[in-house]
Amino acid sequence: MSPSKSQAMLIDGKAIAQEITENLTRQVLQLKQNNLTPGLAVVLVGEDPASQVYVRNKGKMAEKIGLHSVQYSLPASTREADILARIEALNEDPSIHGILVQLPLPDHIDSAKVLRLIRPEKDVDGFHPVNVGLLTTGLRDQALIPCTPAGCIILAKRHRGEDLSGLEAVIIGRSNIVGKPIAQLLLQENCTITIVHSRTKNLEQHIARADILVACLGRARFVRGDWIKPGATIIDVGINRMDAPEKGPGKTRLVGDVDFDSALPVAGAITPVPGGVGPMTIAMLMQNVVTAAQRLSRR
């Protein structure tokens, strides 16, 4: 018999997300008994198939936990002014506590302008500059925090425990919706943070230092096992669809930004794709809607 090799712990985002949503279901029931039904409005513009799936899943989960949930599916040709008018109406609608505009928007729409119009208290994606500013200045208790980053922190703590102080965290990717807010959250957890990106020199040297590695660059199986520090916590945000001829003609599979098979014997813990970060994003969105409803009702 060959000696058994160590394998990374799998961080089961699906199970953790389920714990969170079950807890939220109880909270929503209580709020409803006090005449507060948290409401989420999702705006989808165009027919991007991936966005349609994400929006459908968000709507389904909202209904499952008992939220009031509405969806506006607008054609790709919708004028910017009409989207802005829809946001203004939702800002004023007392039955709506969370507004989410699915990204990306069609090219003729100024996304930043649309996101800026959402009332910050209803910005359950946490993309409004007010929420970005509150997070960056350490006032996260008053902010709404972006959902995927918030989920990543919970997943990292499942392996590392509550105190992440002093750990080296390396984030691959610098997007406004994932890389930058994750860096802010990890900084507030007292990690030493490095953000690496497409122009970074000696990428592998940075990655090799990471106690916590967050891959959010959007390239299938980019990070290889032999780049990783033994025992590291790997949070894989990537969702990439690849051809999978071994499953049959025309079949595809979802893979992360980390090469899972080569990472597994090296890492201390890793999030699978699917079933890692993805379910947590939706759970944190539901959490944000409940938080927004509670805050708005206290005003």
Interface with ligand GUN (CB under 6 A): 100-103, 125, 147-148, 177
Catalytic pick among 122, 123, 125, 257? 125
Q: Do 104 and 66 form a contact (C-beta atoms < 8 A)?
A: no
Instruction: Look up 259 and say whether it is catalytic.
Output: no
Cα separation, 6 vs 9, in Å, equals: 9
Instruction: Look up 257 and say whether it is catalytic.
Output: no
Instruction: Give me the least distance between CB of 212 and ligand GUN, in Å please.
Output: 21
- Residue 188 has a CB neighbour count (10 Å cut-off) of 14
Catalytic pick among 27, 58, 123, 259? 58
CB-wise, 218 or 225, nearer to ligand GUN?
218
CB-wise, 206 or 271, nearer to ligand GUN?
271
CB-wise, 38 or 268, nearer to ligand GUN?
38
For 278, the enclosing helix (H) or strand (E) is: helix 277-297
Say what the alpha-carbon torsion angle 176, 177, 183, 185 is, to the nearest 10 degrees: 130
Instruction: Look up 64 and say whether it is catalytic.
Output: no
Q: Which of 214, 237, 228 is nearest to 268 (CA)?
A: 228
CA distances from 173 to 70, 85, 203, 258 (A): 32, 33, 12, 13
CB-wise, 98 or 272, nearer to ligand GUN?
98
Classify burial at 108, counting beta carbons within 10 Å of its beta carbon; exposed 0-12, middle 13-18, buried 19 or more: exposed
Instruction: Give me the least distance between CB of 297 and ligand GUN, in Å please.
Output: 24
Instruction: Give me the least distance between CB of 249 and ligand GUN, in Å please.
Output: 30
Instruction: Give me the least distance between CB of 292 and ligand GUN, in Å please.
Output: 15
Catalytic positions, please? 58, 102, 125
